[in-house]
Amino acid sequence: MIAVAHDSGSFVDRDIFEPEHNAYRDSVRRFVETELQPHHAQWEKDGIVPREAWLKAGEIGMLCPSVPEEYGGIGADFLYSVVMIEEITRANVTGPGFMVHSEMVAPYILAWGSEETKQQWLPRMVTGEVIGALGMTEPGAGSDAKELRTRAERVGDEYVINGQKTYISNGSQCDLIVLACKTDPAAGARGVSLIVVDADQPGFERGRKLEKIGLKAQDTAELFFNDARAPISARLGEEGTGFGMLMTKLAQERLSIGIKGLSACEAALRWTVEYVQERKLFGQTLGGMQNTQFVLAQLCAEVSQGRVMVDWGIRRFLAGKLSAVDASKIKLLATELNGRVVDQCLQFFGGYGYMTEYPIAQAYVDARISRIAGGANEVMRQIIARDMFRKN
């Protein structure tokens, strides 16, 4: 039988966590098992996770754990975020958009927001009173942020914003949007700025909640801006520096996607190991057959290899040394592996694996977005190749 480490469901021993991280993991795991898992099937039908779940997550410190105490957080290191991502993934709870909120929205505000902006939003993001979304993707611009068409025109002490965003996670119930837009359309990448937009502003409108093949409980929506306004003080950093901010924080986003993808591999493999040891076929267990053992052993070796690389990336990030190229490598390998592992594991479940009541079926459809989100894997290959050829 393949041994699974007790701490995180990994198939290899890990040495990146301290006792306080393990204690936090126990707390998060209990919360996920009691407050999220029992309701997740209903949330999948509803297409949304209720705000009550966000508030409860805020109470135990699951939201924005890296936010400093002066803004209502606990000032924890990134490993607390790692634990949160791993535990939600391990439990196959794909609905709550906590990762987007905590690891993709809050970091922009914390890094480049004015003191006023930080005080206005971060404390309530920590508690779950306010839900954040990242407004980057448009109908004609996804992985290439230079092609954004959403326009923010400076009028007096405000920006007047017009444009459209799509595929926005948390879009149906977000209270704020970190919005990528053009403040100088003629300047290409140097004309991109990030502005925090209050969803209560006149001129902001939510479009339809989009129907997806997976991640059904995580609300995804279109957003429209029709002369919506935001004060100049809501801009993050200097005007025209948004593209550089996106490139900086995309490394963290892609690492987080890699962490999620690798954890999903481990979870799928664990479910399959348990299942094949119980499933009887031709007078023996499915797990007793050599083909089963060899396929799962190969997957276990590859997942273990992926775990080593992801944990290496986490160490690099903690040290402030994770490059955009290395984050792209981690995202590429972990998400490609995720797709292959859930596909091969589902095969062992036979017809049961095609039924949505089995976790492996949900994991199969949910895995597909990981090769698109955070920059399509084709873009990851382009980033890696560009760096490789530049150095040789």
pLDDT tens for residues 9-18?
A: 788 999 999 9
Q: Which CATH architecture has domain 19-127?
A: Orthogonal Bundle (1.10)
> Domain 132-240 class?
mainly beta
Given a cut of 70, whether residue 29 has pLDDT beyond it is yes
Which one from 44, 103, 239, 253 is the annotated catalytic residue? 253
Mean pLDDT score of the chain = 93
391 pLDDT tier (thresholds 50, 70, 90): confident
SS3 (DSSP) at 281: strand
Tokens 């299942």 locate to 275
Q: Tell me the mean pLDDT in the region 305-324.
A: 97
Cα distances from 118 to residues 25, 80, 126, in angstroms, run 28, 21, 11
What percentage of residues in the chain have a pLDDT greater than 70?
96
More confident call, 392 vs 307: 307
* Known catalytic membership, residue 44: no
Given a cut of 70, whether residue 6 has pLDDT beyond it is no
The CATH topology of domain 244-390 is Butyryl-CoA Dehydrogenase, subunit A; domain 3 (1.20.140)
Given a cut of 70, whether residue 139 has pLDDT beyond it is yes
Given a cut of 70, whether residue 4 has pLDDT beyond it is no
Instruction: Tell me what pLDDT residue 189 has.
Output: 85
Q: Tell me the mean pLDDT in the region 228-256.
A: 94
Q: What are the domain boundaries of the chain?
A: 19-127, 132-240, 244-390
Q: What is the pLDDT of residues 292-307, one digit of tens each?
A: 999 999 999 999 999 9
User: In DSSP terms, which residues pair with 289 in a beta bridge?
Assistant: none
143 pLDDT tier (thresholds 50, 70, 90): low
Given a cut of 90, whether residue 1 has pLDDT beyond it is no
Q: Print burial letters for 347-379: b (CB count within 10 Å at least 16), e (below 16).
A: ebbeeebeeeebbbbbbbbbbbbbbebbbebeb
Instruction: Tell me what pLDDT residue 142 has.
Output: 63
What percentage of residues in the chain have a pLDDT greater than 90?
88
More confident call, 357 vs 205: 205
Fold agreement (132-240, 244-390): no
Query: Cβ distance 249 to 100 under 8 Å?
Result: no
Q: Tell me the mean pLDDT in the region 338-357.
A: 96
Q: What is the pLDDT of residues 158-188, one digit of tens each?
A: 999 999 999 999 999 999 999 999 999 988 8
144 pLDDT tier (thresholds 50, 70, 90): low
